Amino acid sequence: MLDNLTARLDKAMKSLKGEGKITEVNVATTIKEIRRALVDADVDYKVAKTVTDEIKEEAYGRDVLIAVKPGELFTKIVYDKLTALMGGEKKEMNLSGNPSIILVAGLNGAGKTTFTAKLANHLKKQNRQVLLAACDIYRPAAIEQLQTLAGQIDVEVYAEPENKNPIQIAENAVKYGKENGKKVIIIDTAGRLAIDESLMKEIEEIKRVLNPTETLFVVDAMTGQDAVTTAKIFNDRINYDGVVLTKLDGDSRGGAALSIRRVVDKPIKFIGTSEKMDGIDAFHPDRMAQRILGMGDVLSLVDRMQQAYDEDEARRINKKIRKNQFDFNDFISQIEQIKKMGNIKDLVGMLPGIGSKLKDFQIDDDAFRPIEAIINSMTDHEKANPDVLDGSRRRRLAAGSGRTIQEVNNLIKQFGEMRKMMRKMNQFQGAGGSKKLAK
Ligand code: GDP
């Protein structure tokens, strides 16, 4: 996410972080480089200029030149400015009302339908009863798309495929939701390929009639400055409450994340980080600033872990580890848990200092594929009893999984080492060590 920008800023600030003496020229060059990096990341030019002017003023005001650790002080100044630029505090959605009604609007292809389902999934994890309303009556297959996504996350969809009146459908959905005890109703509206008057009128009207508790505008971060322009036009018409910035994974340069708040004066509330149902993060300006500056985002990582964490499964595996019974079934289950946390590259990118270095590497869920193929070629008996895997069985696994015999050997060797380590850990704990894991 925003790896290019991170790398550029890191480079720009290097001279201030080194051992050499810091001069006024250094600071001025660094600030100029930061401005260029921001503009290249598609940050609105005026916004980039204002923010770097502010950084300059602050840097001289706080006398970076004579600070004990000028690099650190300077980074802190940039961090504070970027956080403020993105709105400072995290802004929550308004979920008052019974039910609360969330209206989702945006252009076609922005990721509206995907976000609608992701948000339902996010709220469902907080134990809220959610209903989705399919009001995109124009795009062919939009209803089916929402139904398919909702099926994956087990959330109900209200649809009327024959009805061509989105306002009526939305009203009926709210009525149905009330009757069926739903606490949040999320309304997926129709978009258009580009902004047009009939679209604006329709959304204005839906908003007026439904009086939603929260209106969210969804926009594709990859469209850079266009995203900001569209956000402004929509806001002028429907005065929404928050922005959802999708596709911040991939090649997005990130400019929209940095400019929208200043230009539109509405907070970003969520970001989309993959096509999958768990590719959604609440937007925290401070955490995003940390990520952009390559400081990682350990807090978001912990959020993801908590969401994906299956306590019963963790307890079960713990028990098996303690009894020295960890086998290939458990190993596969662990891989599943990791995959549930989302795109691996994205996760590793949340670790401090790693984001920008990973820019050119491709790590994704596919990285697990060879391992899964080999384990899936094992019989149940082999998975539960890894010690029986002799030469001929290994050759069979290689043939069955389409992997080389070396890969099979490596996996089994690494697995053996993992088990050895677990055994050692158990001995250590048995010898009066912590019993914490044994809960
Ligand atoms: P809509 O027309 O606004 O409803 O857009 P869709 O929800 O159909 O999304 C358009 C495309 O963008 C689909 O292929 C989605 O899978 C993809 N998409 C949506 N959100 C994200 C995201 O956060 N990251 C990535 N990489 N793709 C996304």
Q: What is the pLDDT of residues 194-243, one digit of tens each?
A: 778 888 888 999 999 999 999 999 999 988 888 999 999 999 999 999 99
**Fold of the domain built from segment(s) 3-85:** Four Helix Bundle (Hemerythrin (Met), subunit A) (1.20.120)
- Residue 290 pLDDT exceeds 50: yes
What's CA 305's distance to the chain center, in Å?
Answer: 12
How far does residue 110's CA lie from ligand 1's centre (Å)?
6
Question: Is position 430 annotated in a ligand binding site?
Answer: no
Query: Taking CA 275 as the corner, what is the angle to CA 354 and CA 261, rounded to the nearest 5 degrees?
Result: 70
Strands 268-272 and 280-282: antiparallel
- Topology annotation, domain 100-295: Rossmann fold (3.40.50)
Q: Distance, CA 378 to ligand 1 centroid (Å)?
A: 37
With a 6 Å cutoff on the Cβ, whether 116 touches ligand 1 is: no
Nearest to 87 by CA among 281, 286, 230, 231: 286
Ligand 1 pocket residue status of 342, Cβ below 6 Å: no
Closest CA to 317 of 305, 306, 328, 326: 326
Q: Where are the domains of the chain?
A: 3-85, 100-295, 308-438
Closest residue by Cα to atom 19, ligand 1, is 111
- For residues 326 and 254, the answer to whether their CB atoms sit within 8 Å is no
Distance CA 333, CA 122 (A): 23
Find the length of the chain: 439
Domain 308-438 has CATH 1.10.260.30: yes
Q: How far is 255 from 133, CA to CA, in rounded Å?
A: 32
Q: For helices 70-85 and 255-264, what crossing angle results, to 10°? A: 60
pLDDT tens digits along 302-351: 677 767 767 777 788 878 888 888 899 988 888 887 777 776 666 766 66
With a 6 Å cutoff on the Cβ, whether 112 touches ligand 1 is: yes
Nearest-CA residue for ligand 1 atom 16 is: 275
Tell whether 112 is in a known binding site. Answer: yes
Q: What's 275's DSSP letter?
A: S
Tens of pLDDT, residues 72-111: 788 888 999 999 999 999 999 999 989 999 999 999 889 9
Structure-block tokens of residue 177:
């939701």
The DSSP 8-state label assigned to residue 139 in this structure reads S
Which of 103, 146, 246 to mutate to test ligand 1, by most ligand atoms within 8 A of the CB atom?
246
The pLDDT confidence band at residue 437, using thresholds 50, 70 and 90, is very low
Place of tokens 């948000």: 119
Q: Is 193 in the pocket of ligand 1 (CB under 6 A)?
A: no
What whole-number percentage of the chain has pLDDT above 90? 50
**Beta bridge mates, 214:** 102
Would you say 190 is a known binding-site residue? yes
**Amino acid at position 321, single letter:** I
State the SS3 of 32-84.
Answer: HHHHHHHHHCCCCHHHHHHHHHHHHHHHHHCCHHHCCCHHHHHHHHHHHHHHH
Give this complex's ipTM.
0.99
